[in-house]
């Protein structure tokens, strides 16, 4: 198998890094070694290094990463995992090499560098449509969905401890969001919505970011005790345990490529309330697999939360449909598709 070099220069640990970690682990189980060029000192570098068969080269920036990639022997496959590494995959490619990129957002894409790749992977229908709308030929684009590790099990023992820490006895409704406190996730709409949710409804947001202060202030200004009922729990390296404590999951995002945290909620059997955006449309069918609302509509979000907070039967029905749908997003299936793509690109380059 032609060696694969993965490019990831992000500074933090978010969904894209988690997806690369899952892919590397699944490929390692298939006996495929890999090299990752990661940003020096980033948390991702340490996590990738702990994966069997994975070598990590650290770079301080794009130029250093380019030098490292070009110095590696050919033939190889260069796989970019973020927008800032897509040009590197093109520029580092030498005779006999192949280059591809995984596109995770359905935002407008500049086709300049993407057209120069051997393949562009879209993680969802929405991302694929955005790439085609940008003028990329259909033959260049392949859809391989993001995925999760479906062998994980909820930590039932964490439920009591987490709910006690938030002073939420059994029967008192608790919502959950796992995500960065950044504009893309739109935590401000949730903060404003809290005032119109049932007075005994509390919500835990697991994650940190630049909007922490504005979210706290928005919840205080919303009134009805929203400031005390919205708990900003901060970053947790083990967010899975929170799903065991929650009665419903909320994702108020302004945009998503797919929203893999929704797959987590489905997997753990937590019913979902989500914004009605293109990236999540293939997962969230209103009234069937989730309750949805227009992005930015605080009143609509509050109404959806209220509808589920007092209706255990409806929550159970949505959770059952979510569990059914998540079966199509297993990392083992996604890894097999990437492996087939790597082999096809290597074969085409040899020819």
Is the separation of the CB atoms in 291 and 308 below 8 Å? yes
Helical spans, DSSP H, in 30-140? 43-49, 62-71, 86-92, 111-114, 125-133
Is the separation of the CB atoms in 273 and 291 below 8 Å? yes
CATH number (domain holding residue 103): 3.40.50.2000
Q: Are residues 200 and 166 in the same domain?
A: yes
Q: Are residues 241 and 196 in the same domain?
A: yes
Q: Are residues 143 and 160 in the same domain?
A: no
Q: What is the per-residue pLDDT across 74-110, written as a single tens digit (0 to 9) for each?
A: 999 999 999 899 999 999 999 999 999 999 988 877 8
Instruction: Please give the pLDDT value at position 156.
Output: 83
Q: Are residues 324 and 334 in the same domain?
A: no
Q: Are residues 321 and 334 in the same domain?
A: no
* Other C-beta atoms lying within 10 Å of the C-beta of residue 74: 13
Q: Are residues 130 and 278 in the same domain?
A: no
Q: Are residues 122 and 163 in the same domain?
A: no
Is the separation of the CB atoms in 250 and 190 below 8 Å? yes
Instruction: Please give the pLDDT value at position 350.
Output: 67
Main-chain phi, psi angles of 254, to 5 degrees: -80, -30
Q: What is the per-residue pLDDT across 24-74, written as a single tens digit (0 to 9) for each?
A: 999 999 999 999 999 999 999 999 999 999 999 999 999 999 999 999 999
Instruction: Please give the pLDDT value at position 137.
Output: 96
Q: Are residues 296 and 214 in the same domain?
A: yes
Q: Cis ω on the peptide bond leading into residue 75 (within 30° of 0)?
A: yes
Residue span of the structural domain in which 273 resides? 156-328
In this prediction, residues 184-211 reach a mean pLDDT of 97
pLDDT band at 351 (very low <50, low <70, confident <90, very high): low
Q: Are residues 143 and 272 in the same domain?
A: no
In this prediction, residues 168-181 reach a mean pLDDT of 93
Higher pLDDT, 138 or 154: 138
Q: What is the per-residue pLDDT across 145-161, written as a single tens digit (0 to 9) for each?
A: 999 999 999 888 899 99
Instruction: Please give the pLDDT value at position 179.
Output: 95
> What length does the chain have?
351
Q: Are residues 232 and 324 in the same domain?
A: yes
The CA distance from 109 to 287, in Å, is 32
Instruction: Please give the pLDDT value at position 110.
Output: 85
Q: What is the per-residue pLDDT across 301-312, written as a single tens digit (0 to 9) for each?
A: 999 999 999 999
In this prediction, residues 257-284 reach a mean pLDDT of 96
pTM of the model: 0.91
Instruction: Please give the pLDDT value at position 230.
Output: 98
Q: Work out how many domains the chain is built from and give that number.
A: 2
Q: What is the per-residue pLDDT across 302-341, written as a single tens digit (0 to 9) for each?
A: 999 999 999 999 999 999 999 999 999 999 999 999 999 9
Q: Are residues 296 and 337 in the same domain?
A: no
Could you give the angle at the alpha carbon of 102 between the alpha carbons of 101 and 106, nearest 5°?
120
Kindly list the distances between the CA atom of residue 165 and the CA atoms of 98, 162, 175, 197, 245, in Å, as whole numbers in the listed order: 51, 5, 14, 21, 11
Collapsing DSSP states into helix, strand and coil, what is residue 53? coil
Q: Are residues 306 and 338 in the same domain?
A: no
Sign of CA dihedral 331, 39, 211, 86: negative
């Amino acid at each position: 198998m032609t060696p694969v070099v993965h490019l990831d220069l992000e500074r933090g640990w978010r969904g894209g890094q988690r997806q690369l970690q899952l892919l590397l682990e699944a490929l390692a189980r298939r006996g495929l070694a890999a090299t990752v060029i990661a940003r020096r000192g980033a948390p991702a570098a340490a996590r990738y290094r702990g994966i069997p068969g994975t070598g990590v080269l650290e770079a301080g920036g794009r130029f250093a990463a380019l030098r490292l990639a070009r110095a590696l022997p050919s033939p190889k496959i260069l796989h970019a995992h973020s927008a800032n590494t897509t040009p590197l995959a093109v520029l580092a490619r030498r005779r006999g090499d192949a280059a591809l990129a995984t596109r995770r957002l359905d935002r407008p894409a500049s086709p300049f560098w993407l057209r120069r790749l051997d393949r562009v992977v879209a993680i969802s229908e929405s991302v694929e449509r955005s790439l085609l709308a940008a003028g990329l030929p259909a033959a260049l684009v392949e859809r391989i969905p993001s995925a999760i590790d479906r062998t994980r099990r909820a930590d039932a023992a964490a439920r009591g401890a987490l709910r006690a820490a938030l002073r939420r006895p059994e029967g008192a409704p608790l919502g959950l969001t796992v995500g960065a406190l950044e504009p893309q996730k739109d935590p401000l709409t949730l903060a404003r919505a809290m005032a119109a949710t049932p007075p005994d409804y509390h919500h835990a947001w697991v994650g940190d970011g630049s909007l922490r202060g504005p979210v706290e202030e928005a919840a205080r200004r919303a009134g009805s005790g929203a400031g005390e009922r919205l708990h900003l729990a901060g970053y947790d390296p083990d967010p899975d345990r929170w799903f065991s404590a929650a009665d419903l999951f909320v994702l108020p995002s302004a945009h998503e490529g797919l929203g893999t945290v929704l797959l987590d909620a489905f997997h753990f059997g937590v019913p979902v309330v989500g914004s009605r955006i293109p990236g999540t449309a293939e997962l969230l069918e209103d009234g069937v697999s989730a309750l949805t609302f227009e992005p930015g509509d605080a009143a609509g979000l509050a109404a959806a939360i209220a509808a589920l907070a007092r209706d255990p039967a409806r929550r159970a029905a949505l959770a059952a449909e979510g569990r059914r749908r998540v079966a199509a997003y297993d990392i083992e299936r996604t890894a097999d598709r990437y492996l087939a793509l790597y082999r096809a690109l290597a074969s085409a380059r040899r020819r």
